[in-house]
Amino acid sequence: MAYCVEEIRKDFPSLHQLIRGKPPVYFDNACMTLKPQEVVEAMNDYYFIHPACHKRAIHKFGEMTTLRYKKAREAVQEFINAKEPQEIIFTRNTTEGVNLVANSFPFKKGDVVLTTDLEHNSNLLPWQVLSKTRGTIHKVFPLSHDFTFDLRRFEDVLGQGVKLVSVFHSSHIIGCVLPVKDIIRLSHQYGALVLIDGAQSVAHQKIDVLELDADFFAFSFHKMFGPTGMGALYAKRPLLENMSPFLVGGETVEDVDYTSFVLSEIPDKFEAGLQNYAGALGAEAAIKYLTRVGIEEIQRHELKLNTFITGEVLGLPKFKLLGPQDAALRTGIINFFIEDMDSGELSILLDRTNNIMVRSGVHCAHAWYRKCNLLPSVRVSLSFYNTIEEAKIFVQTLKEIIKHF
């Protein structure tokens, strides 16, 4: 079936409304993707048809929820090609997945955790806290000046006793993609485990955790057309079995007395309390939708949009792009600032003029912006429901704003 963006847009109710008489131009997809109708309907199925707990209740509603929750986990397993559904832990988001590893893995004093200098705060703060509470050592590996990852220099650092490498797959700041397969291969040669922050990659490229040989892979469904408050952590079974939960309570135990308890098997021991069952159903629906559209088609479409916008804006007065100038070296992200113009005010002008919704700020990467001595920037982030017409509206509006100011 041929890719037709206009047909796809019919599935997203939020794109059908008018704001100040004009349709929205939603370019904030790296923060939050819009939701197709079928995702919302799948979540409503839980609330309207079988709103009960899974496993605990043996009545019909509970039986239905247990079955659907199980199927959702299997859908995630298949989507990222994990060996078994038990290797999928449902979380609230990528942040919780990273924190789960930080708090549950048996780190020892002196263990080294290595991240890049371009991480989201969610893959930076847990390791800073761990160094204070457990005596681990957090080291930062800087990307090269051309935003590439120097594998030879990385190998030199690995030889310094690194226990865990925790890095982004695709940058939410500049859109570059790390050579994670090579990073994992080298890390394993030196006895280090690898956690991949896949928040920005799962909706834009095919993920195969077995092919990558990733030890941990964390992601959020709100960035892949699914519900908020729903994420997943993949981890190899032997690692999960050797980890202790950092949240305990209902579902995490098989038996309890006043002095001891017996933990449940994976994945239950990591999913404390009542879970986001509606979110799991919405996540499964998002996976089905994303699979039906096709990752390859999405990549082609987003590159087309990115190439067009990049070609139109690079020559604008005082325009400064963060990251590689070649659109092919970035996912659907154009992060920039205009010299002598406040990025927050620019984003407001884009919104008020033509409903162009972008993100301004330091994008949860305070340390990198401070290191590079950068002021807040404006980030355009694209998705498969965006159109060339919207791209043209953005370019023309930006040109008019720059000309006026």
> CB of 371 within 8 A of CB of 117?
yes
Beta strands 231-235 and 88-91: pairing type?
antiparallel
Helix (H) or strand (E) holding 318: none
Give the residue from 158, 198, 194, 157 showing the smallest Cα distance to 177.
198
Give the residue from 328, 323, 338 showing the smallest Cα distance to 375.
338
Q: Is the dihedral of CA 8, 10, 14, 17 positive or negative?
A: positive
> Cβ contacts of residue 112 below 8 Å, gap of 6+?
136, 137, 138, 139, 160, 161, 162, 163, 164
Active site residues: 364
SS3 203: coil
Q: How far apart are CA 212 and CA 207, in angstroms?
A: 8
